[in-house]
Amino acid sequence: MNKALSVFMFVLLLVSMSTMASKIQPVKAEPKTWTVDDDGPADFTSISEAIATANSGDTVYVYNGTYHENVFIHKSLTLIGENKYGTIVDVDYGTAVRIELTEGVTLTGFTIRNAEIGVSVYWSDHNTIVGNVITNCTWGGPYWGGGISLEYSNGNTVADNIISNTTECGIWLNSNNNIVAGNTISETMQPQPRVSIGVYFQDPSHDNIVFGNTISQIGIGIYAGTLCYNNTIIGNMISDLTIYGCGINIWGPNNTIVGNTITNMEYVGIQLNSISSDGKDGVPNACANNVVRGNTISNSTFGINLILAASSNTIVENNVANNSLGILLSDQSNNNTIIGNLVSNSDSGILLFSSNNTKVCHNSFIDNVQQILLSESFNTAWDDGYPSGGNYWSDYGGADMFRGPFQNETGSDGIGDTSYIVDTVNQDNYPLMAYGTGLRHVGDVNNNGRIDILDIAMVARAFGSCIWQARYNLSCDFNFDGRVDIKDIAMASSNFGWHQ
């Protein structure tokens, strides 16, 4: 009896001590919302005063009005403007809003204007800059300017902002693993002698996603430097670029440029450039292993350019139409693959100049004034052997009455019986008789020449994911809209059972 009582008392003591310990734990303050109004009843009349008083985790709600102050944010806060057109931060020098040495800041619903830089994020991670209007920002005067800059700041989201009439850059990054999505960037002034840029990746920036932005009336749409790699540029609309007039300009390796629509470039739709092949700066052939896939490029001087030793890149399934020159490889841009593209209604379909070991197959060359131009380029493969085949040529005059590797067996096979002659030393031995033959079918996720339950399972695994989520699989996003949804399931299912 005494032993049982002792055990009971001991347990009671432990419970009592635990209860007392829980009672003396510090009480965490609930997040609070502070209000700001420049001319009405609120907690504060300035944004800066509210930020100084607020604790991390609080919200600062700003009513419509014009606030002439440079806003500095150094703690995790949510800043919400009442209306992005009516809640205005208007300054005439410096940075309008600076987020520094913190994380988890949200800035939304403001017009930010007349600064040198609109929003600067510096050494700050996992912030959200969404749904703002940034205009008339000139970085240090009429020759420099920036809408939003991310410097040494990772994992941020910059989305659905309207950026206009800045100089130098709309959005500038020297950072990694950021999402730049759904922004509209336009009317950026030219900072002579430099060129204005919509989205600018400065070295080194990697593993960023640039998705669904609309860029127009500037110099270069999207630019990535030599040490910028593993960036994904998908589903952007780029149009009407003058002065330099380049839609997407890539210098670094292992980037993915997919599903963009680029039109009316004064110069070029997509350009891959390397540093010189002599190994300048210790990074020889930096522009390699990029994938340019499923883009639509039209009404430009050049559609796709690979220059200055841009090598080992893949140009696949692009629609290149109504350009002066469809696809250009020059200056020792070797070992590239050009496959499954539609090149049409251009003065010249492809020009290979001083570029060797190119594979060109399963493309469709339609109604170009000159399908192919060659100069000092060797070891080009114009077909993929039999029965895979070569390219479709709209001016091919041969018949398809025979089949087999030597085209001497009775029966047609979708391949011309005679070669398509490019020049005296170049020919497509197996020209395709039908446009689009040999392309990877929509739904063939694993690219094994058939669409079966394994492909459907891969799409199902990625179903419901967006491009910035780990489950997202670009190979399952058949319409390149940055998400895997019922449209992709339907597209794959409609081709179920297909095989080569």
Mean pLDDT of the region 400-429:
95
Judge contact between 133 and 112, C-beta under 8 A.
Answer: yes
Do residues 65 and 87 make contact, with C-beta atoms less than 8 angstroms apart?
Answer: yes
- Angle, CA of 45, 48 and 54, to the nearest 5°: 95
Q: What angle do CA 353, 294, 395 make, to 5 degrees?
A: 55
Domain 33-395+421-428 sits in CATH at: 2.160.20.10
pTM of the model: 0.90
Give domain 453-494's CATH superfamily.
Dockerin domain (1.10.1330.10)
Q: Which tokens go with 57?
A: 């985790």
52-88: b (≥16 Cβ within 10 Å) or e: eebeeebbbbbbbbebeebbebebbbbbbbbebeebb
**Which neighbouring-strand residues pair with 263?**
239, 298
The span from the CA of 475 to the CA of 365, in Å, is 25
Tell me: pLDDT of 97 over 80: yes
Among the listed ranges 300-304, 369-373, 447-451, which one has the minimum average pLDDT value? Answer: 447-451
Q: pLDDT (tens digit, 9 = 90+) per residue, 446-474?
A: 888 788 899 889 998 999 999 988 899 98
Mean pLDDT computed over 15-44: 71
pLDDT of residue 19: 42
Give per-residue pLDDT as tens, 155-176. 999 999 999 988 888 999 999 9
Average pLDDT estimate for 106-115 = 97
- Identify the band that residue 138 occupies on the pLDDT scale cut at 50, 70 and 90: confident
CA atoms within 13 A on the CB side of 289: 8
Bridge partners, 79 (sequence order): 60, 107
* Span 255-263, average pLDDT: 97
* Token pair for 186: 């336009």
**CATH 2.160.20.10 residue window(s) in the chain:** 33-395+421-428
DSSP 433: S
Higher pLDDT, 192 or 432: 432
| pLDDT reported for residue 195 | 82
Specify the pLDDT at position 192.
62
Joined together, the tokens standing for residue 486 give 């019922």
Residue-averaged pLDDT of the chain:
89
DSSP string, 163-227: EES-BSEEEEEE-SS-EEES-EEE-PBP-TTS--EEEEEPSS-BS-EEES-EEESSSEEEEE-TT
Measure CA of the first residue to CA of the last residue in the chain; give whole Å: 85
Could you count the other beta carbons within 10 Å of the beta carbon of residue 487? 13
Specify the domain boundaries for CATH 1.10.1330.10 within the chain: 453-494
Residue-by-residue DSSP string for 292-312: EES-EEESSSEEEEEESS-BS
C-alpha separations of 25 from 14, 20, 22, 30, 273 in Å:
17, 9, 5, 15, 60
